[in-house]
């Protein structure tokens, strides 16, 4: 039997395998690590610590995925703000 723990990710309760690092959690959630920021228990977790920070029972994560691109045209009123 595989051990699991409960955490909260972006406001949603999740059951995940025990022993994951934050980097492995991102992989488990199928989130690319190249364009995300991670907040763990109300503190920004620097990328340099993702591989050596183990996810603990009850941890609360906010994971923000950055998107970019698009083209602003003057016909789009939102671009003029």
User: Which pLDDT belongs to residue 75?
Assistant: 58
The rounded distance, in Å, linking the Cα atoms of 58 and 77 is 44
The rounded distance, in Å, linking the Cα atoms of 23 and 53 is 8
pTM, two decimal places: 0.80
The rounded distance, in Å, linking the Cα atoms of 26 and 41 is 16
User: Which pLDDT belongs to residue 18?
Assistant: 98
pLDDT in tens, the chain (81 residues): 589 999 999 999 999 999 999 999 999 999 988 889 999 999 999 999 999 999 999 999 999 988 776 665 555 555 554
CA-based nearest residue to 6, from 43, 48, 60 = 60
């Amino acid at each position: 039997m595989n051990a699991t723990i409960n955490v909260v990710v972006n406001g949603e309760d999740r059951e995940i395998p025990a022993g994951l690092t934050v980097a492995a959690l991102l992989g488990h959630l199928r989130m690319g690590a190249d364009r995300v920021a991670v907040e763990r228990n109300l503190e920004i977790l620097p990328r340099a610590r993702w591989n050596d920070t183990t996810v603990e029972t009850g941890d609360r994560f906010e994971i923000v995925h950055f998107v970019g691109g698009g083209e602003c045209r003057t016909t789009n009123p939102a671009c003029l703000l």
